[in-house]
Amino acid sequence: MESRILRPTLALYTACFLLFLYGPMIVLAILSFQSIDGGPQFPIRDWSIYWYEHLLGLAETSRVSQLPVGESLIRSIVLAFMTTVVSTVLGVMSAEAFRTKFKGSGPAFYLIILGMMVPGVLVGLGMALLSNTLDLGRAWWGTSFVLHVVYTYPFAFLVMLAIFNRFDRTVEEASLSLGVSPAQTFRRVTFPIIFPGVLSAMLFSFTLSYDEFARTLFTAGRDLTLPLAIYGTFSVEIYPNLFAFGVLTTLFSFTLLVIYGLLMKRFTSKASRYKGQEDA
């Protein structure tokens, strides 16, 4: 009786919620197909892919200057990649350290987590002041990179902590008892088993760094990252080429997500068939 009303209601609610969630993106996607003489709003005068051509420099010259995103896109991807590598390595190493209780593990835990809790604007400002004081140049690959790591490392750390929490230590002991050194044991046993978690930590680090704004704003120096470059174009005038760019980056993110999904599936397929050992 109850589910006859409840389930459709919940379904409707979920549908509305998803629509609301993706509404902005849908609007953005539709507007990106605006014609050459149309503005960044409805109505659509005519459907075209002009703004995509414009974005990629394929359109004939127009009154609208090309979106200055090329280099900043590369910078953002490189920065996100550097951040991903460093944060994930740090996250895995520190989570491994936290498997055993050590002196000061409590304070150390909170100090790590603080990196994702403190307001980005404040940290960014602080870093800017610090680099001024120390007379260090600000750059996306220096000051911004450090802050991106400080920000994303706690996420990677927490993901890995959760993974290690469910990790059965006896498989490592089994490896040791077979005469395999601790380093080889990590490489041959621990790492393959925790790999799905490492992938998740990497995805977190990458996406958080890729669209980080507040921390980067104060510390990037002269060369801008993608979110800063896009923000910069707002101050002139908005054209639908920005929407076209939004659609393309979303597709890029989606591709990353699909790769993540496929890798996960590949590495957990064995583990999911693994029903645990007590059901002997």
Cβ nearer to another protein, comparing 60 with 278: 278
Cβ nearer to another protein, comparing 115 with 196: 196
Q: How far is the CB of 189 from another protein (least distance, A)?
A: 6
Question: Which amino acid, one-letter code, is at 148?
Answer: H
| 137: three-class secondary structure by DSSP | coil
Q: Tokens 């029903």 identify what position? A: 275
Q: How far is the CB of 89 from another protein (least distance, A)?
A: 21
Rounded to whole angstroms, the Cα distance separating 15 from 240 reads 28
| Relative orientation angle of helices 105-117 and 143-165, to the nearest 10 degrees | 130
Q: CA separation (Å) from 220 to 74, 78, 139, 223, 259? A: 14, 14, 5, 7, 29
Q: How far is the CB of 176 from another protein (least distance, A)?
A: 4
Selection from 232, 181, 208 nearest residue 71 by Cα: 232
Cβ nearer to another protein, comparing 122 with 174: 174
Cβ nearer to another protein, comparing 61 with 272: 272
Q: How far is the CB of 187 from another protein (least distance, A)?
A: 9
DSSP 78: H
Q: How far is the CB of 244 from another protein (least distance, A)?
A: 43
Binding residues for another protein, rule: CB under 8 A, are 168, 170-171, 173-182, 184-185, 188-189, 192-193, 270-271, 273-275, 277-280
Cβ nearer to another protein, comparing 3 with 277: 277
